């Protein structure tokens, strides 16, 4: 790990910490504020991959994973109105989803980075975000996995309701997952702007230094 990787490490740690805090606050009926910050973790990963290579990106992911685990463990020890701020299932879901999705992102980006500039960040972020959403919400709230933490009552998340308030009847957590996924896909597109800007500035700086 070199000093040049420090901005990526700090950015990833900041996003993870902010998302762990903001996920506790609702935005409307189907989202939390954390849904708007967490997707930028993929931007950090893709920038590190493009500028420093996949090995550097994976190291930054590991740091983010450790920070996330520490935040989650702290949250399990803080009691809120309805119990711990972070349940063990949510902690497990968060860590598992983050690590697997981010590592898949790195592999996809590395395989596509020789093509058009937007293809690698867009494809890797979409696949990574989709995988992250499926893993997190399934592990955290599905009634099929209640054995992971029997004492944790997730019946509220399995209440049968119309999808996003107007679709077919599904467990509530499925609507939460769809809303979260929609935000992630939207931000994957928006993140192409800062990705392109930062990469171009890096390239210009490197050329000027030669």
Q: Cite the DSSP H helix spans in the chain.
A: 6-22, 40-52, 54-76, 88-112, 119-141, 172-190, 192-209
Taking the C-alpha atoms of residue 104 and residue 48, their distance in angstroms, rounded to an integer, is 14
- The model carries a pTM of 0.91
Confidence tier at 1 by pLDDT (50, 70, 90)? low
The two three-digit tokens of residue 205, written as one number: 């700086």
Q: What is the mean pLDDT of the chain?
A: 90
What does the pLDDT look like over 90-124, one tens digit per residue?
A: 888 889 999 999 999 999 999 999 989 999 999 99
Alpha-carbon torsion 140, 143, 144, 147, what sign? positive
Q: What is the pLDDT of residue 71?
A: 82
Give 31's strand partners.
27
Mean pLDDT of 144-169: 92
Q: What is the pLDDT of residue 82?
A: 62
Q: What is the pLDDT of residue 210?
A: 65
CATH number at residue 135: 1.10.1760
Residue 72's domain comprises 3-209
Number of domains in the chain: 1
Q: What is the pLDDT of residue 80?
A: 65
């Amino acid at each position: 790990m070199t000093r040049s990787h420090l901005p990526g490490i700090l950015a990833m740690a900041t996003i993870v910490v902010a998302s762990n805090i903001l996920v506790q606050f609702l935005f409307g009926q189907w989202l939390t504020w954390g849904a708007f910050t967490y997707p930028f973790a993929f931007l950090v990963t893709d920038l590190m991959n493009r500028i420093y290579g996949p090995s550097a990106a994976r190291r930054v992911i590991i740091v983010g994973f450790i920070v996330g685990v520490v935040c989650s463990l702290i949250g399990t020890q803080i009691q809120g109105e309805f119990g711990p701020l972070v349940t063990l299932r949510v902690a497990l879901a968060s860590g598992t989803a983050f690590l697997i999705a981010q590592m898949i992102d790195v592999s996809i980006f590395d395989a596509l980075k020789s093509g058009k500039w937007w293809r690698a960040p867009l494809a890797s972020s979409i696949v990574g975000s989709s995988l992250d959403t499926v893993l997190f919400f399934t592990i955290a709230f599905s009634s099929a996995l209640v054995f992971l933490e029997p004492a944790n009552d997730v019946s509220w998340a399995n209440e049968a309701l119309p999808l996003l308030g107007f679709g077919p009847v599904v467990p509530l957590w499925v609507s939460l997952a769809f809303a979260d996924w929609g935000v992630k896909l939207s931000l994957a597109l928006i993140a192409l702007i800062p990705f392109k800007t930062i990469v171009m500035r890096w390239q210009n700086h490197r050329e000027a230094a030669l």
